[in-house]
Amino acid sequence: MLLKKIILVKYGEIALRKGNRALYEKRLMDTLRKRLYDIAGDAIHVLREQGRFVIEDVRGDIDEKAVIPRIRNIFGVTAFCLCLKTDARELADIQNIAAEFFRGFLTDAPHTFKVETKRGDKNYPVPSREVSAAVGGYILERLPGLKVDVHRPDRVLWVEVRTYVYLYVHSEPGEGGLPYGSSGKAVLLLSGGIDSPVAGYLTAKRGVEIVAVYFHSPPYTPERAAEKVKDLTARLCAYTGALKLYVVPFTDVQLYLYENVQHSKLTILLKRSMLKIASVIAEKENAHCLITGDSIGQVASQTILSMEAVDSAAKFPVLRPLCAMDKQQIIEIAKKIGTYEISVLPFEDCCTLFVAEHPESKPKVSVIEGIEKRLSELTRLWEEAAGKACER
């Protein structure tokens, strides 16, 4: 009889999407396979079984210490659990195996418990309730110190009847969201700050593939500022897999604007320039939107009117996943995903060096566009910057 430790992966939300379900499942399965490959190559199998993925090692029990850390960060996984898999189908065998399995989760102290059964295989002849009652009754007779409590049990033994039967006690919540790459592609304007990595993470969690772009202004921003953005990108990779980062040489655009426009309008014009150049990269990358880390009212350049004045420069919709969050909420996410410690390192990003004392908070689109039109060198400088953007 087969008895083997495996990992069962649950993926709630994507299972609900009828039309695209197969596509979403394939994405998630590919991601799982890719992330697990270097643990043991082809020996680790990821199989689909009635709305679940089963991860198993063809050589024997799964090495959960190696596998679980890699599943934790995968978007689209709602929960996962270490299970005992068996090919036993007879209720008497399942009772026996379940009791032995459950024993391993008990201490000397008295426990309350219940058994919950799910039948993925609707052809299994015994209804779920009866399986639970039979297994629960058997355990109660055999294992000392147990009492049934169906409302607030100390332990729940889950029995999932699928092509095989799976038993587990603990289920760990997964990262949630949608499989990475299943919802199109976007360009993330990634500065070295706290906000934009969080904006990237949240969007990627909805399944959007990301290409990061950083605007670098040497010698006003040190090389270490670019390194910091690279480190942030590497942190995000823990969730997304390999990520592309473009570094755009921004000094010429920045100096040109600094010398030619009223300083109160500088921030808006710099942001517009970033969106212009990011749009060129988005086209090249076949991406269809831009993402920034703006949050409404956080600073003068992040008012609704500023956003309106900035966005008309973009060729694609500009998503601002943090727009309605306050700083504390953003910091909490940054800490959870491990970008916070990198973001707070003190290297200036290009905007902080060129900020005006009194940036305008109520710019008018027509006025800003009028100013831009009169800047004869600007389009050329944008093109040059986009052309010189290089991948790191």
Per rule CB under 6 A, is residue 303 in the interface with ligand ATP? no
Per rule CB under 6 A, is residue 195 in the interface with ligand ATP? yes
Per rule CB under 5 A, is residue 217 in the interface with Mg ion? no
Contact 198, 330 (CB under 8 A): yes
Pick from 299, 323, 356, 365: which binds ligand ATP (CB under 6 A)? 299
Per rule CB under 6 A, is residue 339 in the interface with ligand ATP? no
User: Which is nearer to Mg ion, 53 or 214 (by Cβ)?
Assistant: 214
Contact 140, 182 (CB under 8 A): no
Contact 268, 368 (CB under 8 A): yes
Query: Which residue has 């093109």 as its token pair?
Result: 383
Alpha helix (H) residue ranges in 179-285? 195-205, 223-240, 251-260, 266-285
| Closest approach of Mg ion to the CB of residue 352, in Å | 7
- 103's enclosing H/E stretch is helix 91-103
Per rule CB under 6 A, is residue 311 in the interface with ligand ATP? no
Helix axes 266-285, 378-388, angle to 10 degrees: 50
Pick from 67, 74, 194, 281: which binds ligand ATP (CB under 6 A)? 194
CA angle (296 as vertex; 294, 301 as ends), nearest 5? 65
Find which of ligand ATP, Mg ion, none residue 306 binds, CB within 5 to 8 Å per kind: none
Per rule CB under 6 A, is residue 342 in the interface with ligand ATP? no
Find which of Mg ion, ligand ATP, none residue 293 binds, CB within 5 to 8 Å per kind: ligand ATP
Round to whole Å and give the CA distance between 17 and 275. 33
Q: How many residues lie near ligand ATP (CB under 6 A)?
A: 20
Round to whole Å and give the CA distance between 32 and 163. 21
- Rg for the chain (alpha carbons), in Å? 27
Per rule CB under 6 A, is residue 360 in the interface with ligand ATP? no
Q: How many CB atoms within 10 Å of residue 192?
A: 28
Residues 252-281, one symbol each (x = binds ligand ATP by CB under 6 A, - = not), give ----------------------x-------
Per rule CB under 6 A, is residue 314 in the interface with ligand ATP? no
CA 330 to chain centre: 15
Pick from 193, 200, 207, 321: which binds Mg ion (CB under 5 A)? 193
Round to whole Å and give the CA distance between 54 and 245. 34
The set of residues, in sequence order, having a beta carbon less than 8 Å from that of 227 and lying 6+ positions away, is none
Per rule CB under 6 A, is residue 293 in the interface with ligand ATP? yes
Query: Which residue has 């942001």 as its token pair?
Result: 271
| Closest approach of Mg ion to the CB of residue 325, in Å | 15
| Closest approach of ligand ATP to the CB of residue 350, in Å | 4
Per rule CB under 5 A, is residue 191 in the interface with Mg ion? yes
Round to whole Å and give the CA distance between 190 and 291. 9
Round to whole Å and give the CA distance between 350 and 383. 19
Per rule CB under 6 A, is residue 202 in the interface with ligand ATP? no
| Closest approach of ligand ATP to the CB of residue 384, in Å | 17
Per rule CB under 6 A, is residue 215 in the interface with ligand ATP? yes
Q: Which of 261, 273, 240 is nearest to 359 (CA)?
A: 261
Q: What 3-state DSSP class applies to 116? A: strand
User: Which is nearer to Mg ion, 160 or 349 (by Cβ)?
Assistant: 349
State which of positions 95-124 bind ligand ATP (CB under 6 A).
Answer: none
State which of positions 129-188 bind Mg ion (CB under 5 A).
Answer: none
Binding site for Mg ion (CB under 5 A): 191, 193, 349
Binding site for ligand ATP (CB under 6 A): 189-191, 193-196, 214-215, 274, 292-294, 298-299, 301-302, 349-351
